[in-house]
């Protein structure tokens, strides 16, 4: 993990590294239990900043109820690295079925666990010095509880966290690997007004912007309402919505129904629109 800046509104690199490992483990259906980490810093990195990052990692691990069981620390010569890089590996216990991003079926419903674009736009606004009446905050958070609630409530077919490339990348991956199409209703996709305003100013599409505390779930249609209620009852799932459905025709594509009644293809981003964001 490498971000610029290391400390950003709503979090920092340490919290992001732990949450990233926890969430990657959880979306495959496993219960996260431990993390291994490796921290590399540039010569001259401030000890106060290092302590702040390590403390944040510890707090995030406590929140996620995981143990940091091993780690390594290295220093690179001045100029060999820009600040800090953290690598984490998540360890989990799979008690039920393994959830992959290749198991969506026609008729399934698509759920997003909350508002999109928060993390990437918070970082980019900080870099550009933009300010708004409502502060932009990263959504970086451990969503194992939200995912566990969904799995307990019904049949979750496929799942993916919306990191690099945002929701657009996650859904395109699911559509391609499952050989189905995913149809979305643009009016149902939750985006904060401040995030949309900042995105418009920066020329970015929130659908393609990195999240660090959201996941897309493809669920059985008969269980969709129960799963949505369970997700919304968790700390990080209050803004969850059903945003679309899976169909058989036009496999491998994600299509977005617009507010004016048209339909456009939501393509996989060619690259990460915001570099050094996760």
For residue 172, what are the contacts with CB-CB under 8 A and spacing of at least 6? Answer: 254, 266, 267, 268
**Tens of pLDDT along 145-165?**
999 999 999 999 999 999 999
**Taking each helix axis from N to C terminus, what angle separates 13-26 and 144-153, rounded to the nearest 10 degrees?**
20
Residue identified by tokens 């969430």 is 23
Same fold for the pair 7-93 and 109-265: no
**Would you call 243 exposed, middle or buried from its count of C-beta atoms within 10 A (0-12, 13-18, 19+)?**
buried
CA 69 to chain centre: 24
For 109-265, which CATH class? alpha beta
CATH code for the structural domain at 7-93? 3.30.1330.10
CB 114 within 8 A of CB 240: yes
**Tens of pLDDT along 214-273?**
999 999 999 999 999 999 999 999 999 999 999 999 999 999 998 888 999 999 987 767
Predicted model pTM: 0.93
CA 116 to chain centre: 9
Check the CA dihedral 65-146-157-160 and report its sign.
negative
**Tens of pLDDT along 54-71?**
999 999 999 999 999 999
Domain residues of the chain, as ranges? 7-93, 109-265
């Amino acid at each position: 993990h490498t971000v610029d800046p290391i400390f950003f509104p709503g979090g920092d690199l340490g919290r992001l590294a732990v949450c990233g490992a926890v969430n990657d483990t959880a979306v495959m259906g496993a219960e996260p239990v431990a993390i291994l980490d490796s921290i590399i810093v540039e010569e001259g990195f401030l000890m106060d900043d290092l302590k702040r990052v390590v403390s944040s990692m510890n707090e995030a691990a406590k929140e996620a109820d995981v143990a940091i069981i091993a780690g390594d620390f290295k220093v690179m010569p001045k100029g060999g690295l820009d600040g800090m890089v953290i690598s984490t590996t998540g360890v989990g216990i799979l008690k039920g079925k393994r959830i992959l991003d290749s198991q969506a079926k026609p008729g399934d419903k698509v759920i997003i666990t909350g508002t999109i674009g928060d993390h990437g736009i918070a970082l980019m606004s900080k870099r550009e010095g933009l300010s708004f009446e409502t502060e932009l905050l990263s959504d970086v958070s451990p969503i194992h509880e939200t995912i566990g609630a969904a799995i307990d409530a019904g049949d979750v077919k496929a799942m993916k966290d919306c990191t690099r490339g945002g929701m657009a990348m996650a859904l395109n991956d699911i559509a391609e690997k499952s050989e189905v199409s995913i149809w979305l209703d643009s009016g149902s996709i939750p985006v904060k007004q401040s995030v949309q305003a900042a995105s418009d100013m920066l020329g970015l599409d929130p659908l393609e912007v990195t999240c660090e505390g959201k996941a897309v779930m493809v669920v059985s249609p008969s269980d969709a309402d129960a799963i949505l209620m369970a997700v919304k009852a968790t700390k990080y799932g209050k803004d969850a919505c059903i945003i679309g459905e899976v169909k058989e025709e036009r496999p491998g594509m994600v299509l977005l129904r617009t507010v004016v009644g048209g339909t456009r293809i939501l393509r996989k981003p060619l690259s990460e629109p915001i570099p050094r964001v996760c």
